[in-house]
C-alpha cells in the first residue's frame, strides 16, 4: 500500500502505492500499514502524488497517521498533493491543520 524508505534512522518516507484513490476500498489497509511504517519515526514525509481521489475514509487515514505522529512528538509532512485532493482538504480546512508542502525535498527534511 505504501512504498516505505528510510534514508536515515528515525526518518521515514512513505509513497502511496495503492492506486489512484484513497477511499473506503483501501483505507483500512492503508491506515494499518502507514501507522506501522511511521511507528518509530521522528520525522515522516508522506507522498500523495499518486492519489487523485480521496473520500472521508481516506481523509480519516491521513488524520490518523498525523495524529499518531503528533502523539509521539514526531513531525509529519504531506507533499505531492494533487489539486483534486487539495480541494477536498481545503473544504474541510485540513490544509490548515496539516503540514503540506509542494516541495518533496522540503517535506523530506
Where along the sequence are the contacts to another protein (CB under 8 A)?
23-24, 53-57, 59-60, 63-64, 66-67, 70, 88, 91-94, 96-97
Beta strand pairing call for 99-101 and 75-79: parallel
Q: Residue 47: name the closest of 89, 18, 9, 88 by CA.
A: 18
81: burial class by Cβ within 10 Å (0-12, 13-18, 19+)? buried
Cβ 32 to another protein, closest distance in Å? 15
Cβ 63 to another protein, closest distance in Å? 5
Q: Dig out the grid coordinates for 2 from the structure.
A: 505504501
Cβ 58 to another protein, closest distance in Å? 8
Identify which of residues 37 and 76 has a Cβ nearer to another protein in the complex: 76
Identify which of residues 8 and 93 has a Cβ nearer to another protein in the complex: 93
DSSP symbols for 18-76: S-SEESTTTHHHHHHHHHHHTTT-SEEEEE-TT--EE-HHHHHHHHHHHHHHHHTT-EE
Identify which of residues 36 and 92 has a Cβ nearer to another protein in the complex: 92
Identify which of residues 8 and 96 has a Cβ nearer to another protein in the complex: 96
Cβ 24 to another protein, closest distance in Å? 5
Amino acid at each position: 500500500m505504501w512504498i516505505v524508505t528510510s534514508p536515515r534512522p528515525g526518518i521515514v518516507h512513505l509513497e502511496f502505492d495503492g492506486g489512484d484513490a484513497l477511499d473506503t476500498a483501501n483505507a483500512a489497509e492503508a491506515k494499518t500499514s502507514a501507522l506501522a511504517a511511521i511507528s518509530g519515526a521522528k520525522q515522516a514525509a508522506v507522498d500523495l502524488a499518486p492519489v487523485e481521489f480521496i473520500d472521508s475514509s481516506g481523509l480519516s487515514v491521513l488524520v490518523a497517521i498525523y495524529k499518531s505522529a503528533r502523539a509521539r512528538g514526531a513531525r509529519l509532512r504531506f507533499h505531492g498533493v494533487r489539486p483534486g485532493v487539495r480541494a477536498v482538504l481545503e473544504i474541510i480546512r485540513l490544509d490548515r491543520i496539516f503540514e503540506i508542502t509542494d516541495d518533496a525535498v522540503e517535506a523530506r527534511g
